[in-house]
Amino acid sequence: MGIVNSLQLLIHRCDFLVTQLVRFWALPRQTRVLLCLSVAFQIVARAALNVASVSRVVSAASWLGATLRCRRIDTETLRWALAAAAARTGGTCLTQAIAARIFCGWAIPRSVLIIGVRRVPGAMDFHAWTEIDGLCVPRAADAESFVPLMVWS
């Protein structure tokens, strides 16, 4: 019975992978590229945060964004791509905000990366986001409840 269950689990995982690949290839080329870059930028940001300070990583992200000269990206599409990438790579709000900063470095120079804090019963809660044209990336319905602790413009 153990072998049968293992085979069923393997078949289920392969079926899931094929379904995900078919959905990925059905996306427009520009969206696929955006999704792949979102994954790459978040993985690099996460690795960089393990060896450098947040300030250095944000500065490097801003420099990289200015160097890459990305085209202007629709903010809603960017939100979607960063959230989808974070869901599959274990990304956090900080890695999403840093990746958004890379995308916005040249295309949207008015973007601002913010790390905020708020008091919750018995603890403190932190959240990071990049403001692009007044919108928060990653999406934060309650971003106004956070007091900015660090701001990079």
Residues 82-139: tens digit of each pLDDT? 999 998 888 899 999 999 888 887 667 678 888 999 888 888 888 898 888 778 888 7
| Domains of the chain, residue spans | 54-153
* 119: number of Cβ within 10 Å: 10
The predicted model gives 17-44 an average pLDDT of 88
In 3D space, the residue among 130, 124, 70 whose CA is nearest the CA of residue 145 turns out to be 124
The pLDDT-based confidence of 52 (bands split at 50, 70, 90) is: very high
5-23: string of b/e by CB count within 10 Å (b at 16+)?
eeeeeeeeeeeeeeeeeee
* DSSP per-residue string spanning 19-32: HHHHHHHHS-HHHH
| Residue 1: predicted pLDDT | 54
Examine the pLDDT at 5 and tell me if it is beyond 80.
no
| Residue 109: predicted pLDDT | 67
Specify the 3-state DSSP secondary structure of 138.
coil
| Residue 75: predicted pLDDT | 82
